[in-house]
Amino acid sequence: MRPIASEEELRAVITINEVTLPEHYPYFFWYEHYELWRDIFLVAVVGGKIVGYNMCRMEMGIGHIKRGIVKQGHVVSIAVLPEYRRRGIATALMLRAMDSMKNKYGAAEVYLEVRVSNEPAIRLYEKLGFKKVKVLRGYYLDGEDAYLMAREL
């Protein structure tokens, strides 16, 4: 688990996103996170190959767990290649990102959105102490709802 290091690695991350998730983003969106929040844009490397990523950002917003306006880490997109799942890679990517959100950026909480049907991801987040805060109706382009899940840091 380490911060992403180059634009070449960014291209590898985008390829993983394309094969693992229906949510894709324009290049500038990836690049913005790469430029601004590299400490919390992490890659998992196995045998020299990038097999997973966790792209996060920092925001100020109304707390999902705490009251008032707080610094929030936002997990924008996380994925692990199918052949490398159930080995704790996503857990390690999340723990490292949450540590940096708290200790480098002073985040008070962390949040994310996840498809209500995405049981593997929901279990991962619940295991990490996230709670379902609310349902975002029709959040995804295909009409599926999202859970907003959050945790104090």
Query: Which residues contribute to the site for ligand ACO (CB under 6 A)?
Result: 20-21, 75, 77-80, 85-91, 112, 114, 118-121, 123-124, 127
| Smallest distance from ligand ACO to CB 71, Å | 18
Q: Residue 40's binding partner, choosing from ligand ACO, Zn ion, none, with beta-carbon cut-off 5 to 8 A by kind?
A: none
Nearest residue to 151 via CA among 118, 102, 104: 102
| Smallest distance from ligand ACO to CB 87, Å | 5
Dist. CA 102–CA 137, nearest whole Å: 29
Q: Residue 123's binding partner, choosing from ligand ACO, Zn ion, none, with beta-carbon cut-off 5 to 8 A by kind?
A: ligand ACO
- Which helix (H) or strand (E) element contains residue 79? strand 69-80
Inter-residue contact 90 to 98 (CB < 8 Å): no
DSSP-based three-state secondary structure for 123: helix
* Residue (67 or 137) nearer to ligand ACO, CB: 137
Write the CA distances from 93 to 43, 47, 56, integer angstroms: 8, 17, 11
* Residue (41 or 68) nearer to ligand ACO, CB: 41
Q: Residue 89's binding partner, choosing from Zn ion, ligand ACO, none, with beta-carbon cut-off 5 to 8 A by kind?
A: ligand ACO
| Smallest distance from ligand ACO to CB 131, Å | 15
- Token look-up 């102490």 returns 129
